[in-house]
Amino acid sequence: MAATFKGGFHIRDHKELTNTIPTKRVPDCDMHIFPMRQHIGAPLKPLVQIGDKVKVGQKIADSEEFVSAPVHSSVSGTVTDIQQYFHDSTAMVDAIFVKNDKEYTVSEDVCPKDYTKMTTEEILKTIREAGIVGMDGAGFPTHVKLAPRNKVDYVIINGAECEPYITSDHRYMLENADDIIYGLKIAMKALGLSDGHIGVELNKPDGMEALKASKEYGANIHIIALKTKYPQGAEKQLIKAVTGRNVPAGKLPADAGAVVVNVATAVAIANAFKTGMPAIEKNVTVSGDAVQNPSNFRVRTGVPVKFLIEQAGGFKNEPEKIISGGPMMGISQYNTDYPVTKTTSSVLTISKAEKTYDPDSPCIRCGRCVDHCPMRLMPFKLSEASRKDDIEMARKYNILECIECGLCSYICPANKNLLQFIRMIKPEVMKKVREEQKNGK
């Protein structure tokens, strides 16, 4: 029987639009734009000035803080501007513009490294210097994740890819299985573990086979078949399915003895050692019914999304929504000017939303949101607390445990957008908790 967690729901996934099409490389793009915000942590400062020449893999922005990750140029060329620009968070963010000379001259700093002869500190430094972060969208610096305060027993590669439409990790499994397991072995060495796990949803049997056929596969690599169910790829749900352990409320995966690394991140780790190339390219799914030819692309960071949409044949219908990420947890965009960053996994274009919400519809007390919430919360109570602006009520019903998966909204027969209400009050609750912690309460 496939491993899983309690709650969740199998959502129509639309993955057939792209999952069998080989990943294509995009042609040369004239201008690459590198936002200073591509990770969770301290902001970066540019290391280059307008007019400077840069090379592929050259570090162009960094911070001295531990929780940060540098940004590198993905092309060779000239820095033409440093200014605020569109970002998929929808905020305007400082960005470095590089005019591509299309020669792809590689930086002298890019050189392979043999991780088997390196200490843990050297491995973590290499991962940090390569600018590797959670490439699935999370953006947490990987060198921090691989240095937990407590000893862990598991490192798990997250191959669930449970968000509808997105197939970029699936294509990595089919086309880069060696790199995924190579990256896992580096993470195992950094964490002092002899075994590693890879969780893959059952809807990717060819992905599991490709991993098992890899020359890097062996008896210490455990491929776990996961039930196809949303949100199987959320960290806490993946850990429960693979290890049987619960991450305690308010704690991190490492507190349950596990570290989770995404498939795309494992590939980036492998590249940083095999060739020495930092995180400058990744798979991005361009999908949805508004685009002519849904596809997966291998993209150098900094390419504007509108360029990617042109490579997918342009729009065939007027998009009602453009989303960075998946339909459940992604962020709606105002335009397609924003660039691909290390954390862009998908660009979704939808001509008509599958579901519309009614902010005033009454709850019919059916209990479906409670039955399916993967965190065992009572979403209708959280929404009620938000409508009443009742912080204590929201705390009583454990709002801070909500992983914002959006399943409660998706599943509600009364079309209540529960997540929207949860997101309205959650920051206020967080602020109150932080104030109390500061005051020693």
N residues, the chain: 441
- Our CB check for ligand SF4 shows the closer of 250 and 413 to be 413
Number of residues that bind ligand SF4 (CB under 6 A): 28
Map residues 358-397 to x or -, x wherever contact with ligand SF4 holds by CB under 6 A. Answer: -----xxxxxxx---xxx-x-xx-x---------------
> In terms of CB distance, is 42 or 378 closer to ligand SF4?
378
Please tell me whether residue 340 binds ligand SF4 under the rule CB under 6 A: no
39 binds ligand SF4 (CB under 6 A): no
In angstroms, what is the minimal distance from the CB of 430 to ligand SF4?
Answer: 14
Q: Which is nearer to ligand SF4, 39 or 372 (CB)?
A: 372
Alpha-carbon distance values, 229 to 160, 190, 241 (Å): 9, 31, 11
Neighbours of 396 (CB within 10 A): 13
CA pair distance 323, 129, nearest whole angstrom: 30
Looking at beta carbons only, is 186 or 407 nearer to ligand SF4? 407
| Closer residue to ligand SF4 (CB): 76 or 237 | 237
| Residue 280 DSSP class | -
> What is the C-alpha to C-alpha distance for residues 20 and 324, in angstroms, rounded to an integer?
22
Q: Closest Cα partner for 262 from 344, 376, 152?
A: 344
Task: Work out how close the CB of 1 gets to ligand SF4 at its nearest, in angstroms, rounded to a whole number.
Answer: 24
Question: Applying CB under 6 A, which of residues 174, 186, 259, 402 lies at the interface with ligand SF4?
Answer: 402
Tokens of 247: 């991450």
Which helix or strand (DSSP H or E) is residue 321 part of? Answer: strand 321-324
> What mask of x and - would describe binding to ligand SF4 in positions 405 to 424, judged by CB under 6 A?
xxxx---xxx-x-xx--x--
Alpha-carbon span 286 to 284, nearest angstrom: 6
Task: Measure Cα distances from 27 to 100, 243, 283, 310, 410 in Å.
Answer: 12, 43, 14, 11, 37
Name the minimum Å distance from CB 292 to ligand SF4: 33
Query: What is the four-CA torsion angle of 177, 178, 182, 183, rounded to 10 degrees?
Result: -40
* Residues engaged in binding ligand SF4 (CB under 6 A): 363-369, 373-375, 377, 379-380, 382, 402-408, 412-414, 416, 418-419, 422
